[in-house]
Every structure is written in structure tokens, then in C-alpha cells.
Amino acid sequence: MISERRKGIVLIGVLALIVLLLGVLMDFAYRARVQLDMAENRLNTIRARLGAESALDITRAVLSGIPDMLAPEMETFFAEGEMLYLDDVELRVRLEPESSKINLSDVVSSRTGRRRRGNRLRAQSLFRLADVLNEEYSEPVFTYDMILSILEWITPEGALDLGALPGEPAGSDYYRQKTPPYECKHADLNTISELLLVKGITEEVLYGHKGGGEEPDIPGIAEFLTLYGGSESIEERLGEGTQLEDLRNIEPRADETFLTIDVTAKAGHARHRIRAIVQRRGANVLELCRTEVP
């Protein structure tokens, strides 16, 4: 007959085994939950990317069928943005007319005369743009030093002469200390995203700050700079007392040729953003470049 002491030892052993098995099961359940969440996040990331690409294609198709950019059905696209839904993927599509932006290709030129004076005025527009954007932040984000560094980057070496402008530009000496080192380009930009190579230009400065809760989204400088089209519209609006909404609430030209399609897709907690510049040629809408925004 088993003694009471042995029964107690057996009971303790059984309880210890049960505790061990529960620990193993809980660890397995936790790992399975984590892997499931990771798989779901990866799936949502893919769904958000594919949704953004689909929205871009849909928008190009819409543009090809509407020749007049002042048509009533286009109004939302140019204001707060059109909301689309593909299953449970939320898509926001906003159009930006390139004619309403500062054309960096025209800011600096080696030509003289009235053309040179006009370019100088366009450079001054960059400083006024900085003042407007910085009012939206608790501290200056787009500084005069950054503007002069942009001008130095796109100007032939030794040719930057726009008068007494505030700030200090960065030259090749600064970029040679980067890892890996590179030279100041001293030539035209190929894309606006190339500005990320310029001293001080971060993703937040270029593409804006995503607000949270009641905090509003603040746009980056990419929304107001272009390599296509004209600059007259934004220069007229960059006067004294200009507010951010004065720069964002713009009306395109009826025959707008160059447009930026800004698409943000959300699937679960995943987010994917694409900015693509397109050119309208009759019924054809050609994609000139595309940037995947972090």
C-alpha cells in the first residue's frame, strides 16, 4: 500500500508536470500569435502596396477620360483628395497641378538680363515658402541654409550669384565627409526625391509630417516644388500674409499637362504611399517618374 508521503510526492510531480506543460502550451500559443500577427502585417503591407498601385492606375484611367481638369467630378481630387475603397483597403488620391509649383529647373540659370532677374525672384519664392511652412511647425524645419544648399546643388560650380541671400550653402567639402562620400552635383535635378542628398533635407522636410489624433498632417516641400511646368501661380500666392491653405487650395488649369498623383493606401496598420508625376497627352496619360514615400 502506497504511503501518504509517496502519494504527496507523486501529486507534487504531477502538478509540476502540469505546470511545465502549461508553460510549454502558453509559449507555443504566444509564438503562434506573434507569427500570425507578423504574417498579417506582411499581408497588409502587400495589400497596401498593391492597393496604392491599383489606385494609381485607376486615377490615370480617370484622367485619360476627362480632358477638362475643371470638371466638377475632378474638384475633390484637387482639394482634400478622393477616397476610394478596394475591399477593406482605404485609398486617398490627391492630384497636384505642377503649374502651381516652383519650378527648380528655372530657378538658376547662367543667362543674363530679364531671365536672370526672374530666376532671382523665383529663388526668393523658396524663402517665402520656407516662412509659410515653418509657421506650421513648433520650430523651423525648412531653413534658409537648406534653400541655399539646394541652389548650390543645382547651380554650376562657382556660378551661384543671386545677391545677398541669408544662410550658408553646403558644397562638395561637406558631402565628401558623408558615408559613402559624394560630390555636390552642380547640375539640374533628375527627380525631386534627389533633394534627399542635399544637406538638411530629410524625408520629413521633403514629404511632410504625418499627424496623429487631432494633430493635422503637414505637407513637405515636395508638394510645392517641381521640375515640370510653370511657377507663376504659386509665386503670386506667396505674398505677405500667405497661409498654408492658400498654397494647398489651388485650382488647376483646364488643360493641365503635368500632374502629381499622390496615393496613400491603408490596410490594417500598414500604410503605403506613392507619388507619381504624369503627363497628359490627349487620351494618353504617361507616367514620368514614381517615388515610394516612406
At 48-93, the pLDDT tens digits run 999 999 999 999 999 999 989 999 888 888 878 889 998 889 999 9
pLDDT score of 118 more than 60? no
Show the cell assigned to 182. Answer: 559624394
- For residue 109, give the nearest of 119, 100, 101 by alpha carbon: 119
Q: pLDDT at position 164, please?
A: 63
pLDDT of residue 60: 94
Q: What does the DSSP assignment read for 59-121? A: HHHHHHH---TTSGGGHHHHTT-EEEEETTEEEEEEEEEGGGSEEGGGT--S--THHHHHHHH
Structural domains in the chain, sorted by start: 44-293 (1.10.40.60)
Q: What is the phi-psi region of residue 87: left when phi exceeds 0, alpha when psi lies from -120 to 50, beta otherwise? A: left
Instruction: For 209-268, write each residue's pLDDT tens digit.
Output: 776 666 667 788 998 899 987 666 676 777 767 777 777 777 788 888 999 999 999 999
**pLDDT band for position 110 (50/70/90)?**
very low
Q: How confident is the model at residue 43 (pLDDT cuts 50, 70, 90)?
A: very high
pLDDT of residue 9: 76
Is the pLDDT at 207 greater than 80? The verdict is yes
Q: What is the pTM of this model?
A: 0.79
Query: Any idea how long the chain is?
Result: 294
CA atoms within 13 A on the CB side of 176: 3
